[in-house]
Homo-oligomer: A and B are copies of this chain.
Amino acid sequence: MMKLYYSPGACSLASHIALEESGAEYETQRVSFKGNEQRSAQYLMINPKGRVPVLVTDRGILTESPVILGYVAQAFPQAKLADNDDRFAFADMQAFNVFLTSTVHVAFTHVFRPTRFADGDDAAAAMRAKAGESIDDYFSLIEAKLADDRPYVHGDGYTVSDPYLLVFSRWLDRSNLGPVEKFPLVAAHRRRLEDRAAVRTVLERERVSV
């Protein structure tokens, strides 16, 4: 059985939701960031990068949110979590997911964990200021993508990009860079996601507020 290592409310939330929606049998293991458990010797044996999510499969482990999301979508095609039969559409979806990973997530990390990028309070303040501007720019791009009455990131069809965007629309509020209502279509997307049964199940399991 597959096993997901996650930390409550972290970016692993997206993989957790994708697994719940896939219909797969899986189990979960919570990793406490507050206890710095992701840097423990035991966890580094599983993932030397010291990060979540990790998906343990019968072939070995997979890391990085876009990879786990794409893998789950392809391994459980009946759940229709991606346009699996169209190589271009799948790649285009992954381009959005990699943008969230390499650009949006990274900007938030400067707010939540500035010491990953520089020591000192002055540097942290300077990075937080710039991250706020960048995050506004990035959500403006996402807002434009959601225009034209698209219910989901890639149009009419739900994909794994949707729970992944949910991670960051929730972080907007958590970081005090929001409220998410600054971006009305992103806010509507968030409400649409939080109405899904699988999303509510996972948020309750992670015990983070809905």
Contacts and interface: CB of A to CB of B under 8 A. Distances in A.
A108 B62 CA distance: 24
Interface stretch (A66-74, A150-158, A166-174, A197-205): A66-74
Tell me the interface secondary structure of chain A in the complex: helix
Interface stretch (A27-35, A124-132, A188-196): A124-132
A207 interface: no
A91 B57 CA distance: 12
A88 B122 CA distance: 44
Copies of this chain, whole number: 2
Interface residues of A, number: 44
B129 A60 contact: no
A46 interface: no
Nearest to A51: B103
Interface of A: 48-49, 57, 59-60, 62-64, 66-67, 70-71, 74-75, 87-88, 91-92, 94-95, 98-99, 101-103, 105-106, 110, 115-120, 122-123, 126-127, 129-131, 134, 141, 144
